[in-house]
Amino acid sequence: LKLTQGFSASRREPAKKQLLLALEKQVMVSAQLRQQIMSLPDVISPGTRGVENVTDTVVKTVWLFAKTHALDVLRGLDSATNNVFAFYPLDAVFRIENEAGVTRARQHALSMSGRLGFRTVRQTKVATATSELARNIQMYAGRGEIKLHTIAQKAGLVIEASDRGPGIADVNAILSGSIQSKTGLGLGLRGVKSIANHFTIDSALGAGTRVSAVFYQD
Ligand SMILES: Nc1ncnc2c1ncn2[C@@H]1O[C@H](COP(=O)(O)OP(=O)(O)OP(=O)(O)O)[C@@H](O)[C@H]1O
Ligand SMILES: [Mg+2]
């Protein structure tokens, strides 16, 4: 009975205190970060002021100190705080059928790559690749989906775009630049291929299109 009481009492500690305790066991916490964490409100909900800044700084600090173990540490922080913050890069699927879906996928790609320790320029590239692939789905297939997932062992991020639209007649011609796009600059797929660490595309007329692009930190 006593044990149960003790457990529930510590569970009622504000999330910011749980965070600080768990974080200090893993990394050096600067006075500034401690101050930033402790000035959060006791009750945190999505969109609470200051949470995004704290999350970013915590993630950066963890990558700086924990390096190859960073993702394990972030996962540990999430469980220590009952997932009040979202430190670990969460996999997600986005239905793409309008501009809002494109924006959500892009936004999540940005936040995921940040949590994976990607620097700002690389984060922007991942977000751009996501929106290029999403926009292609919307524009040429009408609807489809974007899956974003983490390769934990190598701190990588995979974008998987798939649709059951009309497919592409000559993928090779598009990737080599020998076909002129009628609708855009025609840099979308070639651009994504050039910035990704791995790129595969599977498409055939009438069979839909599936693109996979993998990104690592640099
Ligand atoms: N998901 C898709 N389904 C069917 N066709 C597609 C799909 N994605 C691309 N395509 C075809 O491949 C061509 C090249 O796509 P890409 O994204 O490289 O350039 P674009 O969309 O034409 O121009 P940009 O992306 O620069 O605005 C498109 O014009 C379109 O014909
Ligand atoms: Mg395009």
C-alpha to C-alpha distance for 124 and 107, rounded to whole angstroms: 10
Q: What is the mean pLDDT of residues 139-149?
A: 98
Nearest CA to 80 among 34, 20, 38, 139?
20
Indicate the pTM of the whole model: 0.92
Name the pLDDT band for 5 (thresholds 50, 70, 90).
very low
Confirm or reject: Cβ of 183 under 6 Å from ligand 1: yes
Ligand 1 pocket mutation, candidates 146, 181, 185, 201, criterion most atoms within 8 A of CB: 181
Is the pLDDT at 6 greater than 60, yes or no? no
The encoded tokens of residue 96 equal 């793409």
Q: What pLDDT, in 10s, does the model give residues 19-52?
A: 999 999 999 999 999 999 999 999 998 789 999 9
Q: What pLDDT, in 10s, does the model give residues 77-117?
A: 999 999 999 999 999 999 999 999 999 999 999 999 999 99
* Percent over 90 (pLDDT), the chain: 86
Q: What is the mean pLDDT of the chain?
A: 92
Closest listed ligand to the CA of 141: 1
Confirm or reject: Cβ of 173 under 6 Å from ligand 1: no
